[in-house]
Amino acid sequence: MKIKKLFLNKFSSKGFTLIELLIVIAIVGILSAAVLIGINPVKKINQAKDSQTKSDIAQIASAMQAYYTQKGTIGAACYPIKVKALVDEGEMKTEPKSPVDGSIYKVTIPDTSTCTSALNQDGSCVASTACTEVTVSGETLTTPGRVWCWNSTDGTVTETTAALCMPPAQ
């Protein structure tokens, strides 16, 4: 009986020591820091937003091409100067917003005096001197100072500087 009592008193602790807890917390902290460095969640989020921007611009480009083709079959072929015109004409269901800041994607034309006089207030075509060259752009997050750009002359979405994302003069 004495041996059993002595054994229970010596080896039956009811918890962890402070040092054991601190060692476990330190190990968990080191492992979580290593995982966060490896994953880099901010970079992954920015890459996802860039993919969304590129996808949105490709969708707008496709709708712009459809709009241009449709307008060419009933009169003057032209691109709208506002994405809202694509929604109004039924080419898109909603006007996509940039995942970077929630703004509307930028549509650029080479000569606003020629194009705006040939378009309604909503940006749709009304005359034969309408816009035949246009670009759509949206900001990137993974490469500061660059934008995703679609140009109607080559029809591709590429990453470039904002200064180079301009349509040629008409």
Is residue 20 in some structural domain? Answer: no
Helix (H) or strand (E) holding 150: strand 146-151
Instruction: Report yes or no: 95 and 102 within 8 Å, Cβ to Cβ.
Output: no
Q: Give SS3 for 168.
A: coil
Is residue 26 in some structural domain? Answer: no
Is residue 56 in some structural domain? Answer: yes
Domain limits at 55? Answer: 46-164
Is residue 32 in some structural domain? Answer: no
Chain centroid to CA 64? 19
pLDDT, residue 26, reads 96
Give the total number of structural domains in the chain.
Answer: 1
Give strand ranges (E) for 17-109: 106-108
pTM: 0.70
Q: Hunting for tokens 């995703």 — which residue is that?
A: 148
pLDDT, residue 75, reads 66
Q: Give SS3 for 53.
A: helix
Supply the DSSP symbol for 90.
T
Is residue 22 in some structural domain? Answer: no
The two structure tokens encoding residue 169: 């003069």
Is residue 9 in some structural domain? Answer: no
Is residue 133 in some structural domain? Answer: yes
Euclidean distance between CA atoms 149 and 111, whole angstroms = 18
Average pLDDT by stretches of 10, the chain with 170 residues: 58 77 95 86 89 91 87 74 83 88 82 60 59 83 86 86 75
pLDDT, residue 23, reads 95
Is residue 10 in some structural domain? Answer: no
Enumerate residues 6+ apart whose C-beta is below 8 A from 139: 53, 98, 100, 101, 147, 148
For residue 79, the one-letter residue type is Y
pLDDT, residue 3, reads 60
| 150 phi/psi in degrees, rounded to 5 | -115, 130
